[in-house]
A and B are shown apart, each in its own frame.
Chain A
Amino acid sequence: MLKTFSKGGIHPPENKFSVDKAIEVLPLPQKVSIPIAQHIGAPATPVVNKNDEVKTGQIIAKSAGFVSTNIHSSVSGKVVKIDKIVESSGYKKTSVVIEVKGDEWVETIDRSLDLKKEITIEQSDIINKILDAGIVGLGGATFPSHVKLSVPKGKKAEILIINGVECEPYLTSDHRLMLEKGEEVLVGTKILMKALGVTKAIIGIENNKKDAIEHLISLSKEYDGIEVNALKVKYPQGGEKQLIQALINREVPSGGLPIDVGAVVHNVGTAYAVYEAVQKNKPLFERVVTVTGDSIQKTSNFIARIGTPVSELIEAAGGKPDDTGKIVSGGPMMGKALNSLDAPVTKGTSGILLFPENKAHRKETKPCIRCAKCVSVCPMGLEPFLLMTLTQKRLFDKVEKENALDCIECGSCSYTCPADRPLLDYIRLGKSNVSQIIRSRNKK
């Protein structure tokens, strides 16, 4: 019997069309626009000026605070402007726009593709290296990785968990990465283990990626302390709290962090980025992006430079089908619909998903029939219908008491609701109000 998390969960159709498509390198775009806020926390401060010449991998914005990270140029060329540019949300965010000229990399980056297994870096230098390279959680949450690796005083990391679950339907970028760069991911894992000072790491992979599981199991024999575990397919297993519970059967307390139960979770994409940063001296300026959809001509997995317009990815995958009704950045469950195709690929873009018109729209909202399906699928044990009603009635103190802040926004409730109620929309609203109330309370 395979492991999985105990509470709730759903089984949406997997639709992993691009699973057998090898990772291709996307041709360089003409122009990139790189937002200075691609991570959770303070936006970085730009350190280049208009008309500066930059090289690929050169730092263009410096971390502004502990929870923040560096941003690097993903191309070589000239900075045309630093201005507010529309990003995927439709809001304008400060971005550095670079016109591409050739592809000249910073000299210190090792561009060879050879595997470098030997870890020579000192333990104390790893976190700085990761901050310098601007690495954030590549699973989609984009939380700066060096913060997760800095274990607070009084807490102890016992185990590293590498998230290869990729529970979102359609997406295959982590799957392809594990197949094609398995060894690099394992070296990255070793580096992360060294940084945390732990001797054990588990890579959790859902059982719909049998080839990746076999591949990593055979490779991991050479690496001490790394174990590969197959997991039963269930969404949202990629949530860190769910994954910890599934793999080591520990429950992160309400309001707590994984470190409270001695675990640190990183994505396989992050492990690969850490390998590149430490062994090859290469900062994070490109990532694997799945471009897929029901009627797209050529579903693909691309290595795309950060800042590439989404339209170029879609062009490279055979163009936008005529029946496209909605384009989503990220997976279908947690991704966000895009406002404009000029939006750039950022560090958190794991996929671009094109829905045909007949799948693109929400259904009409109907009254709640009290079936409690949302309660039974909630992986955090919350009562989504109640949170929605309380938020609508603006009873935010009760929303707080019902532990709304524990919600991981996986969308299982909205997915399963037979009355098509926008449960998650309102829970998000309740959460933002509750956190505002808590902030103002703490100020007093």
Chain B
Amino acid sequence: MSPVVIITIISLSSIGIVSALILYFIAQKFKVFEDPRIDKVEEALPSANCGGCGFPGCRNFAEACVKADDLSNLHCPVGGNDTMSSVASILGMDAVAQVKKIAVLRCNGACEYRPNTNIYEGADNCTVAANLYGGDTGCEFGCLGLGECVEVCDFDALYMDEKTGMPVVVEDNCTACNACVEVCPKDLFELRKQGPKGRRIYIACRNEDKGGIAKKACAVACIGCSKCVKECPHDAITIENFLAFIHDDKCKLCRKCVPVCPTNAILETNFPPRKPKPEIKKEPVVDLKQSIVAEGKVNEPEAKNNSNKETSDNN
């Protein structure tokens, strides 16, 4: 072997050894201690990185869990109570059970109830449309039907119903991650208690106009008549700005408010059909309820309707 080769081998290997030593000591010096429990907690989480817990991702949530003294303010809506109890067992803390919530759409203004007053031709994006104008119907509070909520849903829990032009929540898939609540420019989504057997009663309207104006714009708008407030035996309903709201912590799901609503703005989901009573008239609301009951069963997302463009006068 020529001396050149030997010199090369020796010099390169000594450079390698010296660098390795430097790297080793630097790594020791600047070592960051990370609680090994963080990795374990992260593994127990669903890794959806949806942000539903209020943290930017599952890792940040895991860090917060490890740092926290108790888990009462921390909840992973996607994993639910099962995940939280396994997180609690890793950390040796007690899990605090939280009520399972679900997103509900507080607008029922399908095309048949809410006639179009103009045509929208702009970008297919609810926020763009909401910044521009009040919407393509007479109701400035209602669903714009451009499906931004469907786009942001990471769990396939929303799809656009082509017939009504409005999004539908797929009950089995919804994890209450809050993404749709945050994105909707009209604040139409609300996280409510899922309820026993998925039974919920809520007011599917956000219209804060006076009764007459609301009714003119949409046949199923809440007109603020306060009949439901009088009917409710549990004081669960309040009215503000001509709009009723059912508080789900007080509501006992007695269904008394539903038949008294003159505009059928109160929706009930997953209840068994009512026994026909002679004094209560059969109302067209039955159709509505059936479509709501169907929510949980339909799983196939449908293509959204893109036939909307900028405002224009159409009269």
The verdict on B226 contacting chain A, using a C-beta distance below 8 Å, is no
The verdict on A248 contacting chain B, using a C-beta distance below 8 Å, is no
| Interface membership of chain B positions 58-79, coded 1 if the CB is closer than 8 angstroms to chain A and 0 otherwise | 0000000000000000000000
The verdict on B238 contacting chain A, using a C-beta distance below 8 Å, is no
The verdict on B17 contacting chain A, using a C-beta distance below 8 Å, is no
| Inter-chain contact A326/B312, CB cutoff 8 Å | yes
Q: Which of B134, B309, B310, B312 contacts A91 (CB 8 A)?
A: B134
Binds B, one of A57-65, A151-159, A425-433: A425-433
Smallest Cβ-Cβ distance to B140: which chain A residue: A91
| Inter-chain contact B311/A337, CB cutoff 8 Å | yes
- Rounded to whole Å, the gap between the CB of A349 and the closest CB of chain B is 16
Considering residues A325, A339, A426, A428, which has the most beta carbons from chain B within 10 angstroms of its beta carbon?
A: A339
Q: Give the contact-size bracket for chain B.
A: 20 to 34
In the assembled complex, which residues on chain A have CB atoms less than 8 Å from the CB atom of B309?
361-362
The verdict on B268 contacting chain A, using a C-beta distance below 8 Å, is no
| Inter-chain contact A89/B128, CB cutoff 8 Å | no
| Inter-chain contact B133/A89, CB cutoff 8 Å | yes
Smallest Cβ-Cβ distance to A324: which chain B residue: B313
- Rounded to whole Å, the gap between the CB of A353 and the closest CB of chain B is 12
Q: Which of A92, A362, A432 contacts B310 (CB 8 A)?
A: A362
Complex: A191 Cα to B37 Cα, angstroms: 73
Complex: A444 Cα to B132 Cα, angstroms: 29
- Interface of B, secondary structure class, is loop
| Interface membership of chain B positions 129-159, coded 1 if the CB is closer than 8 angstroms to chain A and 0 otherwise | 0011111000010000000000000000000
| Inter-chain contact B131/A339, CB cutoff 8 Å | no
Q: Give the contact-size bracket for chain A.
A: 20 to 34
In the assembled complex, which residues on chain B have CB atoms less than 8 Å from the CB atom of A91?
133-134, 140
| Inter-chain contact B128/A90, CB cutoff 8 Å | no
| Inter-chain contact A425/B312, CB cutoff 8 Å | no
Binds A, one of B3-11, B115-123, B276-284: B115-123
Q: Which of B123, B125, B127, B313 contacts A339 (CB 8 A)?
A: B313
| Inter-chain contact B123/A340, CB cutoff 8 Å | no
- Rounded to whole Å, the gap between the CB of A54 and the closest CB of chain B is 25
| Inter-chain contact A90/B209, CB cutoff 8 Å | no
The verdict on A3 contacting chain B, using a C-beta distance below 8 Å, is no
Considering residues A84, A340, A425, which has the most beta carbons from chain B within 10 angstroms of its beta carbon?
A: A425
In the assembled complex, which residues on chain A have CB atoms less than 8 Å from the CB atom of B135?
90
| Interface membership of chain B positions 89-129, coded 1 if the CB is closer than 8 angstroms to chain A and 0 otherwise | 00000000000000000000000000001100111010110
Q: A339-B118, A361-B121, A425-B122 are in contact. Are A90 and B312 (CB under 8 A)?
A: no
Complex: A337 Cα to B310 Cα, angstroms: 8
The verdict on A313 contacting chain B, using a C-beta distance below 8 Å, is no
| Inter-chain contact B311/A90, CB cutoff 8 Å | yes
Complex: A425 Cα to B133 Cα, angstroms: 12
Complex: A341 Cα to B127 Cα, angstroms: 24
Q: Which of B125, B133, B134 contacts A429 (CB 8 A)?
A: B125
Q: A89-B133, A90-B133 are in contact. Are A337 and B313 (CB under 8 A)?
A: yes
In the assembled complex, which residues on chain B have CB atoms less than 8 Å from the CB atom of A339?
117-118, 133-134, 311, 313
In the assembled complex, which residues on chain B have CB atoms less than 8 Å from the CB atom of A324?
313
| Interface membership of chain B positions 217-254, coded 1 if the CB is closer than 8 angstroms to chain A and 0 otherwise | 00000000000000000000000000000000000000
| Inter-chain contact A428/B313, CB cutoff 8 Å | no
In the assembled complex, which residues on chain B have CB atoms less than 8 Å from the CB atom of A326?
310, 312-313
Smallest Cβ-Cβ distance to A388: which chain B residue: B123
Complex: A89 Cα to B129 Cα, angstroms: 11
Smallest Cβ-Cβ distance to A433: which chain B residue: B127
Smallest Cβ-Cβ distance to A423: which chain B residue: B123
Smallest Cβ-Cβ distance to A320: which chain B residue: B313
- Rounded to whole Å, the gap between the CB of A392 and the closest CB of chain B is 8
The verdict on A351 contacting chain B, using a C-beta distance below 8 Å, is no
In the assembled complex, which residues on chain B have CB atoms less than 8 Å from the CB atom of A360?
312
| Interface membership of chain A positions 26-61, coded 1 if the CB is closer than 8 angstroms to chain B and 0 otherwise | 000000000000000000000000000000000000
What is B's interface to A at a CB cutoff of 8 Å?
A: 117-118, 121-123, 125, 127-128, 131-135, 140, 209, 309-313, 315
Known: A336-B133, A339-B313, A422-B122. 10 other contacts (CB 8 A): A92-B209, A337-B118, A341-B315, A360-B312, A361-B309, A425-B122, A426-B128, A428-B128, A428-B131, A429-B128
Rank and list the top 3 A-B pairs by shortest CB-CB distance, nearest first. Answer: A90-B134, A425-B123, A422-B123
